[in-house]
Amino acid sequence: MTYGDYLQLKTLLAAQKPLTKKHDEHLFIIIHHVQELWLNLMAHELNAAIDFIERDQLPPAFKSMARMTRILEQMISAWNVLSTMTPSDYLEFRNELGQSSGFQSFQYRMVEFRLGAKDPKMLLPHRHDTENYERLKAALEAPSLYDVALMLLKRRGFAIPDDIVNRDFSVRHVFSDAVRDAWLKVYRNSKENFEVYELAEELVDLEDWFQQWRFRHMKTVERIIGFKRGTGGSSGVAFLKSALDHSFFPELWAVRTEL
């Protein structure tokens, strides 16, 4: 067993197949490969965190969640590298991308679903791949990270309404005054509820970093293509900006105002 054998480096490095001889296409492919590798690890850690919370094992869930924030830090840095590519550099090979788009990333959609950004329409770009479609559909219909956190709160005696934890999980969670008040109780008695308080802060930290990654993505795209439509027909920057308006864990942000 050699280093290259263990990491399957020949397979990994053979995956960079530029369609042109333009210098910056190599950069473009590698950055997106890097992002997909990190997304793969994000999904792995998300699944672990959800499993641990469902089993009331919060310390190992905290480890997975902390790791996800460090992953997002690396993903943000990747956009900084891509931003060294100028609009002129990108236009030299952009037409060769055809209808391919980051909007079609199976792993990104999996991470969003597991975080709670549920939208059945987002299954549509994956209809051509039966295996990935079924995996996404299962994630869409399963409780998200926030859902299992609220279930844990209820198990620990906090007043989470039944219709919050027994609902159609394929629909995005909607802000609830009762959920906000439950988190408010956690924060106002943080010493007595320290483990759940730490869970709340891990969730906020995770969303904070995820939104920073989204923002850096949006600004990198704006820097390179302005407000042109994205490849694949997406609205480009406009779509990326709209995602910044949606919170995974809205009550945790509202608590800040109430304290």
Is 164 annotated to bind a ligand? Reply is no
Residue count of the chain: 259
Are the beta carbons of 28 and 82 closer than 8 angstroms? yes
Q: At a CB cut-off of 8 Å and minimum separation 6, what does 44 contact?
A: none
Is 26 annotated to bind a ligand? Reply is no
Is 84 annotated to bind a ligand? Reply is no
Distance between CA 239 and CA 186 in Å, rounded?
35
Helix (H, G, I), strand (E, B) or coil at 117: coil
Q: Quick one: pLDDT at residue 133?
A: 95
Structural tokens at position 150: 């609220």
Are the beta carbons of 62 and 203 closer than 8 angstroms? no
> At which residue do the structure tokens 């009762």 appear?
178
Is 29 annotated to bind a ligand? Reply is yes
Q: Quick one: pLDDT at residue 88?
A: 95
Are the beta carbons of 85 and 224 closer than 8 angstroms? yes
Are the beta carbons of 92 and 228 closer than 8 angstroms? no
Is 30 annotated to bind a ligand? Reply is yes
Q: Quick one: pLDDT at residue 237?
A: 86
Q: Give the HSE-up count for residue 69: Cα atoms under 13 Å, Cβ half-sphere.
A: 14
Distance between CA 173 and CA 83 in Å, rounded?
34
How crowded is residue 240: how many other Cβ atoms within 10 Å of its Cβ?
A: 21
> At which residue do the structure tokens 């790791």 appear?
67
Is 239 annotated to bind a ligand? Reply is no
Structural tokens at position 113: 């679903």
Chain-centre distance of CA 156, in angstroms? 28
Is 94 annotated to bind a ligand? Reply is yes
Q: What single letter denotes the amino acid at residue 118?
A: K
Handedness of CA 223, 226, 231, 236 (dihedral sign): positive
Q: Quick one: pLDDT at residue 94?
A: 93
Residues (pLDDT < 50) of the chain are none
Q: What single letter denotes the amino acid at residue 202?
A: E
H helical segments located in the chain: 3-7, 9-14, 23-54, 58-82, 87-91, 106-115, 130-141, 145-155, 162-165, 177-188, 194-225, 237-243, 250-258
- Domain at 21-256: CATH code: 1.20.58.480
pTM for this structure?
Answer: 0.93
Distance between CA 171 and CA 119 in Å, rounded?
7
Is 76 annotated to bind a ligand? Reply is no
In angstroms, the Cα distances linking 179 to 106, 185, 192 are 31, 10, 19
